[in-house]
Copies of this chain bind each other. A is one copy, B any other.
Amino acid sequence: MHPVIRKASPLAALKSEEQGALLRALGPTVRIRAGEDILSDGDRPGVSTMLLEGVAFRYKALADGRRQILSFQITGDVLDLQTYVTRRMDHGVRALGDCKIATIPHAAVSSLIERYPGIALACWRNALLDSAISREWMVALARRPAHERIAHLFCELTYRLKAAGVAEGDGYRLPLTQALLAEAAGLSAIHVNRVLKMLRNDGLATLSKGVLTVNDWEELQRAGHFDPTYLRPD
């Protein structure tokens, strides 16, 4: 299997004929450096973008300059299939660490989903997984206290990255600053700092110098009320 079609991804179910067609439609690989926008709010791209390597995040900017991170995307995710239908991006997508991407012209998307129903279904599945993650995250933002939110986010990222075969072992590279974590969790950076200290002291997880170390996976899941069911599209 091509490394971009990572295991456990919605694309993994594609027949090899379909995988080949999809990969052939991809344009050249482009490197994006950490912190750069892959897609900006208001863009009207004529292509759809696939994340080949690295971690990126969706975000919205508020009028006063604050930002809210909406979700994280990992290797193998299609970042803006939506622009194929709606044309205009209503949020930005930014590289967390260094990334590699490739694009597919919307016209090629058209003929792919027309010719290969399996690809259309896989894209649909991908979008539904994103929605499921959004729903779970809405509940966390609205109802869970700070330490549960952070624990839950750590669980989700760890689970997804491991399922994708991108992360291994107890500690893995995750170039997330406390400020970014605050923008994801709907908290202030200062409070994130205090929560991280608690998680560290309690021996659950440690985020330091861009490496997330999960010290007690069972307890971390409990702390974040994490149930991975929503990540398995069944």
Is A135 in contact with chain B by the CB < 8 A criterion? yes
Q: Which residues of B contact A186 (CB under 8 A)?
A: 141-143
Is A229 in contact with chain B by the CB < 8 A criterion? yes
Indicate if the CB atoms of B85 and A135 lie closer than 8 Å: no
26 of the cross-chain contacts (CB-CB < 8 Å) are A62-B139, A62-B143, A63-B225, A68-B138, A68-B139, A70-B139, A82-B131, A85-B125, A85-B233, A86-B132, A86-B233, A86-B234, A90-B135, A91-B135, A114-B117, A120-B120, A124-B124, A127-B128, A127-B131, A134-B134, A138-B138, A138-B141, A141-B142, A141-B186, A142-B185, A142-B186
Is A6 in contact with chain B by the CB < 8 A criterion? no
Closest to A144 in B: B62
Q: Per-position contact with B for A169-184: 1 when CB-CB < 8 Å, else 0?
A: 0000000000000000
Q: Which residues of B contact A139 (CB under 8 A)?
A: 60, 62, 68, 70
Q: Which residues of B contact A90 (CB under 8 A)?
A: 132, 135, 229-230
How many A residues have CB within 8 A of the partner chain? 41
A residues touching B (Cβ–Cβ < 8 Å)?
58, 60, 62-63, 66, 68, 70, 82, 85-88, 90-91, 114, 117, 120-121, 124-125, 127-128, 130-132, 134-139, 141-143, 185-186, 225, 229-230, 233-234
Bound CA–CA A225/B63 (angstroms): 9
Copies in the complex: 2
Q: How close is A30's CB to chain B, nearest CB, in angstroms?
A: 25
Bound CA–CA A63/B82 (angstroms): 33
Indicate if the CB atoms of A128 and B85 lie closer than 8 Å: yes
Known interface pairs A60-B136, A141-B186, A142-B186; 15 further A-B residue pairs with C-beta atoms within 8 A, sorted by A's residue number: A58-B135, A60-B135, A66-B143, A68-B143, A70-B138, A82-B128, A85-B125, A86-B234, A114-B117, A131-B131, A131-B134, A134-B134, A138-B138, A138-B141, A141-B142
A62-B143, A134-B134 known; A88 vs B128 contact (CB < 8 Å): no
